[in-house]
Amino acid sequence: MPTIDLFELRNHFAMHDVLTCFNGPFSHGLIEEFGVAVRQHLEQRATERSDLLDVFAVYVELAQNVRNYVTTKGFTPGQPHNPDCAIITILWDGERFAVAAGNVVTHEDGSGLATRIDELNAMDKDGLRRRFKEQLRAPRHANSLGAGLGLLEIARRAGAPLTVARTPLAADWEFFSILVRI
């Protein structure tokens, strides 16, 4: 059985000011429970209310996006690179809070998501607001889990462009990461 140096992991988190991190399969109940812990942790840091709300909202959107992706794709444990597992973390980058999430996706889905994020990054706050309102009025697709507002809401709350990293894993798979600075 491989060993893990938890002391080294804890030191790495401390050095990079990682406030909280979850790695594993996401469920609706877990998202809620982890969300309560996140909110309490941020409140203890005497965070401004607007920052707390933005960090919490981005955390919820990212966690739900990961859970919904795994659910809609029908992934099951034991598939290549464990696509039902994901990671989400909240950190302080020295100037602002950041929320990062990552999970296994198909290359095709990763490309589409990266393109959509590039489009959002090219918009100013006013353009994001207009697109959000347009999307609210747009008809919903029959198989949709929502109104398609998640990434728009994340981009609207971000204080800097969204950052994406794509790590190839196998022929059809990659690990897709997104970093949102609040």
The mean pLDDT of 3-17, rounded to a whole number, is 90
Q: What is the pLDDT of residues 29-87, one digit of tens each?
A: 888 888 888 888 778 876 678 888 899 899 999 998 988 887 787 666 556 566 667 89
* Sheet-wide strand order for 173-181: 18-25, 85-92, 97-106, 173-181, 163-170
- Longest CA–CA span in the chain (Å) reads 53
Domain annotation for the chain: domains and CATH numbers: 6-181 (3.30.565.10)
Strands (E), 9-161: 18-25, 85-92, 97-106
Q: pTM of this prediction?
A: 0.86
- C-alpha triplet 89, 103, 19: angle, nearest 5°: 5
